[in-house]
Structure 1
Amino acid sequence: MSVGMAVPRATYASDPGCSRGRLFDEPPSKTRSAFRRDCDRVIHSTAFRRLKHKTQVFVYHEGDHYRTRLTHTLEVAQIARALARQLGLDEDLTEALALAHDLGHPPFGHAGERALDACLDGYGGFDHNAQTLRVVTLLEHRYPDFDGLNLTWEALEGIVKHNGPLTDPTGNAIGRYQRRGAPVGIADFNRVYDLELWSFASLEAQVAAIADDIAYDAHDIDDGLRAGLFAVDDLKTMPLTAGMIADIARRHPLLDDDRRGAELVRELISCLIMSVVSEAERQLAEARPQSVDEVRRYGRALIAFPSDAAEAEALIKTFLKQRMYRHPRVMRVMDEAETIVRDLFARYRDDSAALPAEWLPEDGESRELNVERARRIGNFIAGMTDRFAITEHRRLFDSTPELR
């Protein structure tokens, strides 16, 4: 079947009618599936709206045309739905996971995450997936009967495990979590509501994860070109993009650089989507899972790039790291952004009165910096937009970096 045509629901797709339910029981919606309801709750959340003023690579006031966390998230959702439709998966769960995947990111992108992780090093560190889980289970206050959004088990599982298992079957942390163990927020919640941290997530979650990679590669090239950090012809150093650039030149020999770049980005997205679909179909035909639970227990991810596309995608990431993320202009702004986050944490740590009333320690709670208070400060900072963090820094300090 050609890419772009919808296929019937697969036997290994997540079925909203067979969901494991929600932590707090609710009557089903009369008009929406359980997963569509999850998706709508994410869209209407406060944390989702704040993504429009959170950095992707360029701080919001550097220009109106660069991606923000929100526009990145919408692009991930579009790519994820395209993949889910082609593979016969549940599009609503896939979209919900794509839309939710960055809700826990702090201001200033990965720079803010690095700074907040360092500030919380003695208190479990900071992990944006764990923070997303906190947002959807604790920090959103929109419903009378529970904190958070009360998403389905399948949505929470996908938020936590879209990049793979966090532990082995005995509960020992694996991979990047071996040094610290499973992130505090995830480990604590898992004791209340078991998300089976030892297993893989659904194919919908795996699709959302690889859609994130595709979106990053494509839109960071687009933003890097727009910012003048590199030119279209600089991308000829990589075989995949070199071939695309040559093909564009044959078809449109007089095209200007802006349109060459836009055409390249479109072709790259299409190429990577088709490669993932082809590889997923091959792996699924080999594995032959008959249910979503067989997908979880299979022992490895079934949504992946084929080897040649994985190699090409890795080269793109290396190029972007060298030419964009580590560009002196970007590094200078991100270093200053880390300073803002560290300054704010230190001020709130040393002076509780600097926090808004709703974030102050409760009566009888220690004013000394303990795990609970450190996490409270971390939650407050993580929820900030870039511009609120800058405004707050100006309120508390005599001098604030311009981030330009």
Structure 2
Amino acid sequence: MQAPPAPFATRPEESRGRFHADDPEDGLRSPFQRDRDRVIHSTAFRRLKHKTQVFVSHEGDHFRTRLTHSLEVAQIARSIARALGLDEDLTEALALAHDLGHTPFGHAGERALNACMTDYGGFEHNAQTLRIVTRLERRYAAFDGLNLTWETLEGLLKHNGPLIDAYGAPQGKYARSGLPRAIADFVHFRALRPETWPSAEAQVAALADDIAYNAHDIDDGLRAGLFDLIDLADLPLAGAALAEAQDLKPDLERPRLIHETVRRIIARLVSDVIARTQRNAEKWRVNSAEDVRRLGRALVTFSPQTAEDLRVIQRFLRRNVYRHPKVMDAMRRAERIVSDLFAAYVSDPGLLPENWRERVLSDDSEGFPRQICDFIAGMTDTYAIEQHRRLFDLDPLFR
């Protein structure tokens, strides 16, 4: 059900605009609808079809990829935004774009590429997303990147909270490592107010990501046989959802039982976010989008009990899925592919495809290791495997 616009919603007619001069608005779409459409039509978005979520693509056609995950995040995010009276188009644009910077092979590829880039500024997928939408996409005549609105860039940059404190010190996950170079060097970094919280729409997209990957990793883990339904019985949220699903119909076949369980997990989490956020807004008297940024804490949250229940589920998934021997073995081989490719291209850029070879050799503004990093980060799983096989001709990994 569509709620009336919330007083703290982001309003497209009040957008701060884009950093580059652009075509006039067409009158058919809001600025945030145009952002969403630019993300969907980007090369980086299409590549998500063959990028791993948890399971490498050759292991089965029914496991989630970064593309299907992004679509599921967008659906959940729009549902929450609609119930809260937020701007659905901005929320959807952020949800669809949030994983553009991921490497092949998921977090295993990211770990390997970060290790390869230790001497060149490191690698981090959120920073790479910013790099893609501001620099690497080359589609428009007047600018590099997608020239997204201020609000969309802000949401992508700090959807998990402020990046720096009032004194400029890195915050959150960057407190120890410092800001990634791709973020710190962004020419409009300070203009995006990295010390404040992002919009409610960005916060919704971030929690929709949490909901989607936790629920759907349960689904994929069950379908892969890494654990069984009975293992969910004692888990908070999941156990109750399973019990409800089992009561629907005697002897319900396993695929239906899995689906009915997972959809109930998602519904519980979505309902909790909506109810808690409405309570937060009333309690803290949040009456504008600027109030959200200046609140000093997240507006869009789970209730404390649900947040703790979700942490229990995440520990279960870490133990039974992400650290399962089958998954760990595949990820070790994936890391080797990424590391081997980086070493080969750095040693001999002539091994790169012609268009990238010309780019690396003609543009020395950032050094060719960063551009090689861009090339590998943009690869799909299948393309990375093919290139490794072509260059090394060893017993093919993942064959």
Contact 1:124 1:180 in 2 (8 A): no
Give the C-alpha shift of residue 104 in structure 1: 0.4
Contact 1:166 1:177 in 2 (8 A): yes
- The within-5 A match list for 1:108-147 is 108-147=105-144
1:312-357 CA distances to partner (integer Å, 9 max, x unpaired)?
Answer: 1111111111111111111100100000000001011111111123
The partner residue of 1:6 within 2, 8, 11 is 2
Residue number in structure 2 paired with 1:398: 393
Contact 1:390 1:400 in 2 (8 A): no
SS of alignment partner, residue 20 of structure 2: coil
What is the alpha-carbon distance in structure 1 between the residues aligned to residue 262 and residue 204 of structure 2?
20
5+ residue gaps in structure 2?
none
- The within-5 A match list for 1:29-40 is 29-40=26-37
Letter in 2 for 1:8: P
Give the C-alpha shift of residue 359 in structure 1: 2.2
Give the C-alpha shift of residue 400 in structure 1: 5.2
Contact 1:340 1:400 in 2 (8 A): no
More moved, 352-361 vs 137-146 = 352-361
* TM-score after normalising by structure 1: 0.95
What is the alpha-carbon distance in structure 2 between the residues aligned to residue 363 and residue 395 of structure 1?
22
Cα distance, 1:136–1:96 mapped onto 2, change above 3 Å: same
What is the alpha-carbon distance in structure 2 between the residues aligned to residue 57 and residue 101 of structure 1?
17
- The within-5 A match list for 1:379-394 is 379-394=374-389
1:72-101 CA distances to partner (integer Å, 9 max, x unpaired)?
Answer: 000000000000000000000000000000
Letter in 2 for 1:75: E
Cα distance, 1:109–1:191 mapped onto 2, change above 3 Å: same
Is 1:75 the counterpart of 2:95? The answer is no
Give the C-alpha shift of residue 190 in structure 1: 4.6
Residue number in structure 1 paired with 2:40: 43
Give the C-alpha shift of residue 362 in structure 1: 5.3
Contact 1:222 1:265 in 2 (8 A): yes
5+ residue gaps in structure 1?
none
SS of alignment partner, residue 194 of structure 1: helix
* TM-score after normalising by structure 2: 0.96
Residue number in structure 2 paired with 1:99: 96
The partner residue of 1:24 within 9, 12, 20 is 20
Residue number in structure 1 paired with 2:220: 223
SS of alignment partner, residue 185 of structure 2: helix
- The within-5 A match list for 1:212-361 is 212-360=209-357
The partner residue of 2:11 within 11, 15, 23 is 15
Give the C-alpha shift of residue 157 in structure 1: 0.5
Give the C-alpha shift of residue 193 in structure 1: 6.2
What is the alpha-carbon distance in structure 2 between the residues aligned to residue 313 and residue 116 of structure 1?
29
Residue number in structure 2 paired with 1:61: 58
1:105-139 CA distances to partner (integer Å, 9 max, x unpaired)?
Answer: 00001100111111111222111111001111111
Letter in 2 for 1:350: S
Contact 2:35 2:152 in 1 (8 A): yes
Give the C-alpha shift of residue 392 in structure 1: 0.8
Give the C-alpha shift of residue 294 in structure 1: 1.3
SS of alignment partner, residue 51 of structure 1: helix
What count of residue pairs does the alignment treat as equivalent? 397
What is the alpha-carbon distance in structure 1 between the residues aligned to residue 69 and residue 360 of structure 2?
37
Give the C-alpha shift of residue 311 in structure 1: 1.1
What is the alpha-carbon distance in structure 1 between the residues aligned to residue 112 and residue 189 of structure 2?
29
What is the alpha-carbon distance in structure 2 between the residues aligned to residue 74 and residue 220 of structure 1?
15
- Over 4 Å off, 4+ runs: 190-193, 361-366
Give the C-alpha shift of residue 237 in structure 1: 2.4
What is the alpha-carbon distance in structure 2 between the residues aligned to residue 192 and residue 205 of structure 1?
17
The partner residue of 2:368 within 368, 373, 376 is 373
Contact 2:236 2:312 in 1 (8 A): no
Contact 2:360 2:368 in 1 (8 A): no
What is the alpha-carbon distance in structure 1 between the residues aligned to residue 151 and residue 55 of structure 2?
33
What is the alpha-carbon distance in structure 1 between the residues aligned to residue 13 and residue 308 of structure 2?
39
1:291-325 CA distances to partner (integer Å, 9 max, x unpaired)?
Answer: 11110111011111101111111111111111111
- The within-5 A match list for 1:200-215 is 200-215=197-212
Q: Percent identity?
A: 58
Give the C-alpha shift of residue 188 in structure 1: 0.9
Give the C-alpha shift of residue 180 in structure 1: 2.9
What is the alpha-carbon distance in structure 1 between the residues aligned to residue 267 and residue 343 of structure 2?
46
Residue number in structure 2 paired with 1:175: 172
More moved, 293-302 vs 236-245 = 236-245
Contact 1:80 1:207 in 2 (8 A): yes
Give the C-alpha shift of residue 181 in structure 1: 1.6
Cα distance, 1:193–1:173 mapped onto 2, change above 3 Å: closer
